[in-house]
């Protein structure tokens, strides 16, 4: 992944920049991600709070608490999920991969919560598969 990359929500109101030498890109197959994001699984990259900067539209970011620890942050205009927060790891941002402006420049590293992966979701790459959430 490039050392400096950017992204936005669907309507372009919320923009962010990431400053990190390396982030972990994760496919998460947990039920919470399915419900929060409406997809079969979620791909996001994990970046520390200090390396994630909202550069536009912060006032249009809405937050919803799905569970005691899971917070979903999304654009209140277009509904794009931008990042999730797990209060167990408050300094990390789980930023939705699809919000990147150049998503083809990187690929996922790991699959997590594979025990709840949908049976038709198949990966033929050599990603590690974790049964439990990886330690951060």
- How far is residue 125's CA from residue 131's CA, in Å, rounded to a whole number? 17
Q: Given the rule CB under 5 A, which of 48-56, 71-79, 89-97, 126-134 is the region that contacts Zn ion? A: 71-79
Residues whose CB falls within 8 Å of the CB of residue 84, separated by 6 or more in sequence, listed in order: 33, 36, 44, 70, 71, 72, 73, 93, 94, 96
**Choice from 33, 46, 82, 100 touching Zn ion (CB under 5 A):** 33
Tokens of 33: 């991600």
**Choice from 75, 85, 92, 95 touching Zn ion (CB under 5 A):** 75
Residue 13 within binding range of Zn ion, rule CB under 5 A: yes
Whether residue 96 contacts residue 42, with contact meaning beta carbons closer than 8 Å, is answered with: yes
Q: Given the rule CB under 5 A, which of 75-83, 93-101, 115-123, 126-134 is the region that contacts Zn ion? A: 75-83
Please state whether beta strands 70-75 and 61-65 pair in parallel, antiparallel, or not at all (unpaired): antiparallel
Distance of closest approach, residue 3 Cβ to Zn ion, in angstroms: 26
- How far is residue 16's CA from residue 72's CA, in Å, rounded to a whole number? 16
> Residues 76-115: x/- map of binding to Zn ion (CB under 5 A)?
-xx-------------------------------------
Distance of closest approach, residue 10 Cβ to Zn ion, in angstroms: 5
- How far is residue 110's CA from residue 106's CA, in Å, rounded to a whole number? 13
Considering beta carbons, is residue 21 or 127 the nearer one to Zn ion? 127
Residues of this chain that bind Zn ion (CB under 5 A):
9, 11, 13, 28, 30, 33, 75, 77-78
């Amino acid at each position: 992944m490039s050392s400096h990359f950017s992204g936005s929500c669907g309507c372009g109101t919320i923009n962010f920049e990431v400053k990190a030498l390396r982030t972990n890109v994760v496919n998460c197959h947990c039920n919470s991600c399915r419900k929060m994001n409406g997809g079969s699984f979620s791909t996001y990259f994990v970046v520390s709070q200090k390396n994630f900067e909202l550069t536009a539209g912060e006032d249009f970011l809405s937050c919803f608490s799905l569970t005691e620890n899971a917070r979903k942050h999304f654009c209140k205009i277009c509904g794009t999920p931008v990042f999730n927060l797990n209060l167990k790891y408050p300094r990390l941002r789980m930023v939705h991969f699809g919000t990147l402006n150049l998503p083809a420049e990187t690929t996922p590293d790991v699959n997590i919560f594979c025990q709840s992966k949908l049976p038709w979701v198949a990966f033929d790459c050599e990603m590690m598969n974790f049964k439990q959430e990886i330690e951060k």
